Structure 1
């Protein structure tokens, strides 16, 4: 018992270190995703990004001699790939043509709300009053960041882009739940590699249909955007994400991703000159408070 108690804090520290790493990388990636649209179409960039990410992971799987997943998992990996990679990033990248990078990240990370509802319905998880309070405070933070302009004074194009990104958030939430139900027994790097491979195929098909013949500028800057988002923000981060959601409950894991829009807004302010208003700062504070409250629980979620 003493040994278990000694291990739990270390596991908790490792999990939160990984969460901090991927949310920081994902937050920075929003800036690169927005900037990449200056060099190529949204679907073309996503095809490059996830093609590179899938190739990277498949090489690692080959080097580690993990092999192919059992045939019974292929259907599930295709579904996860379509939900988490194809749908999410086709919609997000198209929406970014109309919506600021910082605000787009806020909309996508409404995902914890949808994931929490699905986790209760399909995974049998319980949202305690404490976690519900944390989730509601975090979502209030998102609404505070978005401000009143989400309701008034926006063009049809901006509203359309925002709706696409919210649909992407729902698709990601469905993917999280589907993964937990059908795929989590696989090695995490194998699951990430093959779902990303199938997802990249879906994105490539959309790119060929929608952007065939459109100009593509490949230079040092655009290649940096592709390689960073493909290798680090995709291959590395999604493998770590699958590890996290297999180790702790869905509600805690997804609420923690509310850190991403905070990092996204900070990087957007520094690199894209998007404004950090009082509403943004207040909303960010609410998100952090919500995460802290939601992860205070008597039962240690890191004990698995």
Structure 2
């Protein structure tokens, strides 16, 4: 029985890792969509449109799941439990939406004052910030995970930074973005086991979309012609990056340590470089390729099972 439970846990872990890798791949390609989309509209308009689309894409899925749940459910939840779950889902969705909206805007504005390479490296510092923050919440981090985080950080540096790293206004804004993305990962880690993952994802996008849309009308001049012209990148970012990838993140994080999850999600930077290479005909230097290798090695490293010490009683009997 114990071996079966361990194998089930291992299978769930690998499935969750695959879901997070798919999310990271979608986000990596989305960098191309975001780059093209900024040619037609401002950051508030783009983030608002794609977030609202992401939320609307999930509504039919929620309706379909609810219908099947009512049809197939053997034991219905009590009204009290349903009310409690709805409350947790709503609170979690609002917290996630506020976090993701704030992080995205800090990143977008920070890039205006720093280079893309430096912004990419600073953003991925969440793979180091997450375990540090987790310590304050009583989460233990294995040594191999710390080693993987350091290895991934070195890979990100080689992958993204092409000049001497120095701190300026843009660097500070992007660093704040990395901190808020770390908070978003930990918030999901807290709420996802207690709430409906798809509903949580849907709520977070509507919250982020409403906030960004208000910001667009306050500081930008959104037009329908701009949205129509940039429909392809907006739809990809909304349907795939928001509706699909973030839902995969919420579902995938249920059975994984948040530090391990952040390392897998950091592969989006690797995929973004590969997507730029294939789609935009951008070339990679040997240093960038080596950075990709280090990041993949870090993700593989943290997936290795931890060796368990045998009880002393068993060793004496043996």
**TM bucket normalised to smaller:** 0.7 to 0.9
Q: Distance in 2 between matches of 1:111 and 1:99?
A: 18
Structure with greater Cα Rg: 2
Candidates 135, 140, 149, aligned match of 1:135: 149
Q: 1:279 to 1:3 in 2, by over 3 A?
A: same
Superposed counterparts of 1:92-241, under 5 Å: 92-97=107-112, 104-122=119-137, 124-147=138-161, 149-151=163-165, 159-182=168-191, 184-212=193-221, 216-219=225-228, 222-241=230-249
Q: Deviations over 1:26-48 (max 9, x none)?
A: 10001110111111111111111
> Which 5+ residue runs of structure 1 have no aligned equivalent?
none
Structure 1 residues 19-76: Cα deviation after superposition (integer angstroms, max 9, x where no partner): 2211111100011101111111111111110010011123322343389962355344
Q: CA deviation at 1:15?
A: 2.1
Let me know the Cα RMSD of the aligned residues: 2.7
Gaps of 5+ in 2: 68-81, 309-318
C-alpha distance in 1 between matches for 2:231 and 2:186: 33
* CA offsets 1:219-242 (integer angstroms, 9 cap, x no match): 46x212111111111111111101
SS at match of 2:66: coil
> How many residue pairs are counted as aligned between the two chains?
292
| Counterpart Cα distance in 1 of 2:307 and 2:49 | 43
The answer to whether the 8 A contact 2:48-2:208 is kept is no
State the alpha-carbon separation in 1 of the partners of residues 8 and 190 from structure 2: 27
User: Partners of 2:48 and 2:222 in 1: how far apart?
Assistant: 15
* Change in 2 beyond 3 A, CA 1:97/1:34: farther
1:279 matched to which residue of 2? Answer: 287
TM-score of the superposed pair, with normalisation by structure 1: 0.85
Q: CA deviation at 1:216?
A: 4.8
